Amino acid sequence: MSGGLATRLVVARDTGFTLDAELAILPGRTVALLGPNGAGKSTAVAAIAGLLPLDDGYVRLGDKALDEPREGQFVPAEDRNIGVVFQDYVLFPHLSVLDNIAFGLRSRGVGRHAAAESSRDWADRLGLAGLHARKPVDLSGGQAQRVALARALATHPELLLLDEPLAALDVTTRAQLRRDLIDHLSGFAGPRLVITHDPAEAFLLADEIHVIEAGAITQVGSPDEIRLRPRTKYIADLAGSNLFSGVAANGTVAVGAHTLTIADTHAAGDVLATINPRAISIHRHRPEGSPRNAWQTTIVRIEHHGDRVRLQTGSPLPLTAELTPVAVADLVLRIDEPIWLSVKATEVGVDAD
Amino acid sequence: MSSRRARIQARPPVPLIALAVVGVSLFAVPLIGLAMQTPWTDLLTLLNGDIVRDAIWLSLLSATGATAIAFVLGVPLAWVLARVEFPGKSLIRGLVLLPLVLPPVVGGAALLFALGRRGVAGEPIYELTGLVLPFSTWGVVVAATFVAMPFLVITVEGALHNLDGKFEGAAATLGAGKWTVLRRVTLPMIAPSLISGLVLTWARALGEFGATITFAGNLQGRTQTLPLAVFVALETDRDTAVALSLGMVAISLAVLVVLRDRWWRSL
Amino acid sequence: MRRLLIVALAVLGLVACGTGSSNRDQVLVSAAASLTDAFAVIETEFELDHLDLDIVINHGGSSALREQILAGAPVDVFASANPVTMTQVLDEGFVVGDLVVFAVNSMAIAVPFGNPAGVIGLDDFADDAFLVGLCAQGVPCGDFARSVLANAGVDPAPDTNEPDVRALLTKIEAGELDTGIVYATDIAARADAVSGIDIAAEFNVRAEYPIAVLAEGENREGAEEFVSFVLSTRGQSILAEFGFAKP
Q: Do B135 and C176 touch (CB under 8 A)?
A: yes
Q: How confident is the model at residue C46 (pLDDT cuts 50, 70, 90)?
A: very high
Q: Would you give the DSSP letter of residue C136? A: P
How far apart CA A341 and CA B57 sit, in angstroms, is 92
Report the 10 Å Cβ neighbour count for A158: 22
Contact B217 C161 (CB under 8 A): yes
Please report the pLDDT score of residue C11 as a whole number: 39
For domain A242-352, give the CATH number.
2.40.50.100
Gap from A151 CA to chain B (nearest CA, Å): 8
Work out the pLDDT band at A2, boundaries 50, 70, 90. low
Query: Are residues B175 and A93, on separate chains, in Cβ contact within 8 Å?
Result: no
Contacts (Cβ under 8 Å, ≥6 apart) of A68: A54, A57, A58, A59, A60, A74
Does residue B175 sit within a domain?
A: yes
Q: Are residues C160 and B223, on separate chains, in Cβ contact within 8 Å?
A: yes
Mean pLDDT taken over chain B: 88
Range list for CATH 3.40.50.300 in chain A: 5-233
HSE at residue A282, side-chain half, CA atoms within 13 A, is 30
Q: How far is B165 from chain A (nearest CA, A)?
A: 10
A93 shares contact with chain B (CB less than 8 Å): yes
User: Which one, of B130, B116, B212, lies nearest residue C171 by Cα?
Assistant: B116
Instruction: Tell which of B83, B164, B166, B173 to mutate to test the A interface (max A CBs under 10 Å).
Output: B173
**Do C176 and B223 lie within an 8 Å CB cutoff?**
no
Chain B residues within 8 A of A108 when measuring between CB atoms = 175
Phi first, then psi: give them for residue A87, nearest 5 degrees: -60, 135
- Is 80 exceeded by the pLDDT of residue A28? yes
Residue B107: give its domain's CATH number: 1.10.3720.10
Among the listed residues B149, B171, B153, the one whose alpha carbon sits nearest the alpha carbon of residue B161: B153
Instruction: State the pLDDT at residue A171.
Output: 66
The residues, ordered by sequence, that sit 6+ positions from A124 with a Cβ below 8 Å of its Cβ are none
CA distance C25 to A73: 82
Of C63, C131, C174, the CB nearest to B135: C131
- Residue C163's φ and ψ, nearest 5 degrees, are -70, -25
Are A and B close enough to touch, i.e. 3+ CB pairs under 8 angstroms?
yes
Counting beta carbons within 10 angstroms of the beta carbon of residue A164, is it exposed (0 to 12), middle (13 to 18) or buried (19 or more)?
A: buried
pLDDT digits over A255-308, tens only? 877 888 887 777 777 777 778 788 888 888 887 766 678 888 888 888 777 777
Chains that touch C (3 or more CB pairs under 8 A): B
Quote the CA–CA distance of B226 and B252 in Å, as a whole number: 12
pLDDT tens-place string over residues A164-186: 988 877 766 777 787 788 888 88
CB-CB neighbors (< 8 A) of C193 in chain B: none
**What's the whole-number mean pLDDT along residues C44-60?**
92
**Model confidence band, residue A92 (pLDDT cutoffs 50, 70, 90):** very high
Angle ∠(B184,B203,B40) on CA atoms, nearest 5: 140
B99: confidence class by pLDDT, cuts 50, 70, 90: very high
Range of the domain at B158: 46-262
Q: What mean pLDDT value characterizes chain A? A: 85
With an 8 Å Cβ cutoff, is B175 touching chain A? yes
Tell me if C23-104+208-241 shares its fold with C107-198. Answer: yes
Q: What is the mean pLDDT of residues A188-216?
A: 89
- Chain C residues with beta carbon closer than 8 angstroms to that of B224: 161
Q: Which residues of A touch B177 (CB under 8 A)?
A: 78, 107
The C-alpha atoms of residue C165 and residue C107 are separated, in whole angstroms, by 11
| Residues B245-254, mean pLDDT to the nearest whole number | 84
Chains C and A make contact, 3+ CB pairs within 8 Å = no
pLDDT at A241: 66
Judged by a CB distance cut-off of 8 A, whether residue B176 touches chain A is yes
Q: Which residue of A has its CA nearest to B179?
A: A107
Question: pLDDT tens, C214-239?
Answer: 998 889 999 999 999 999 999 999 99
In terms of DSSP bridges, do strands A320-323 and A338-343 run parallel, antiparallel, or are they unpaired? unpaired
Q: Which residue has the higher pLDDT, B170 or B12?
A: B170
Q: Is the pLDDT of residue A244 over 50?
A: yes
Using pLDDT thresholds of 50, 70 and 90, give the confidence band for residue A245: confident
Highest averaged pLDDT of the listed ranges A229-233, A311-315, B2-6, C140-144: C140-144
Q: Are A295 and A278 in contact (CB under 8 A)?
A: no
The residues of B whose Cβ lies within 8 A of any Cβ of C are 109, 112-113, 116-118, 132, 134-135, 213-214, 216-220, 222-224, 231-232, 234-237
- How many other β-carbons are positioned within 10 Å of the β-carbon of residue B8? 9
In angstroms, rounded to a whole number, what is the distance separating the alpha carbons of residues B175 and A77?
Answer: 7
Set of chain A residues whose Cβ sits within 8 Å of the Cβ of B184: 103, 107
Q: What is the residue-averaged pLDDT of chain C?
A: 86
Class of C107-198 in CATH? alpha beta
Q: Which amino acid is at C164?
A: D
> B163 lies in a domain?
yes
pLDDT of C48 above 90:
yes
Would you place residue C12 in the very low, low, confident or very high pLDDT band (cuts 50, 70, 90)? very low
| pLDDT at residue B5, rounded to an integer | 53
Q: Tell if the CB–CB gap between C174 and B219 is shorter than 8 Å.
A: no
- The beta-carbon neighbor of B135 closest among C64, C160, C167 is C160
Contact at CB, B113 and C136, closer than 8 angstroms: no
Structural domain count of chain B:
1
Let me know if residue B224 belongs to a domain.
yes
Asked if C167 and B132 come within 8 Å (Cβ–Cβ), the reply is: no
Residue-wise pLDDT for C133-186, tens only, equals 999 988 888 999 999 999 999 999 999 999 888 889 999 999 999 999 998 888
pTM of the model: 0.71
> Region A60-76: what's the mean pLDDT?
92
Which three-class secondary structure string do you get for chain B?
Answer: CHHHHHHHHHCCCHHHHHHHHHHHHHHHHHHHHHHHHCCHHHHHHHHCCHHHHHHHHHHHHHHHHHHHHHHHHHHHHHHHHHHCCCCCHHHHHHHHHHHHHCCHHHHHHHHHHHHCCCCCCHHHHHHHHCCCCCCCHHHHHHHHHHHHHHHHHHHHHHHHHHCCHHHHHHHHHCCCCHHHHHHHHHHHHCHHHHHHHHHHHHHHHHHCCHHHHHHCCCCCCCCCCHHHHHHHHHHHCHHHHHHHHHHHHHHHHHHHHHHHHHCCCCC
Q: What is the mean pLDDT of residues A104-119?
A: 92
CATH 3.40.30.10 correct for A5-233: no
Q: Is A19 left (phi over 0), alpha (psi -120 to 50) or beta?
A: beta
Place domain C23-104+208-241 in its CATH homologous superfamily.
Periplasmic binding protein-like II (3.40.190.10)
Of the candidates B142, B112, B132, which has an alpha carbon nearest to the alpha carbon of residue B208? B142
Q: Which residue of C has its CA nearest to B209?
A: C163
- Res C15: pLDDT: 38
The domain locations on chain C are: 23-104+208-241, 107-198
ipTM value > 0.85: no
Report yes or no: B169 at the A interface, CB cutoff 8 Å. Answer: yes
In a domain, B9, yes or no: no
Within an 8 Å CB–CB cutoff, is residue B228 touching chain A?
no
pLDDT above 50 for C2 = no
Provide the pLDDT confidence category of residue C19 given band limits of 50, 70 and 90: very low
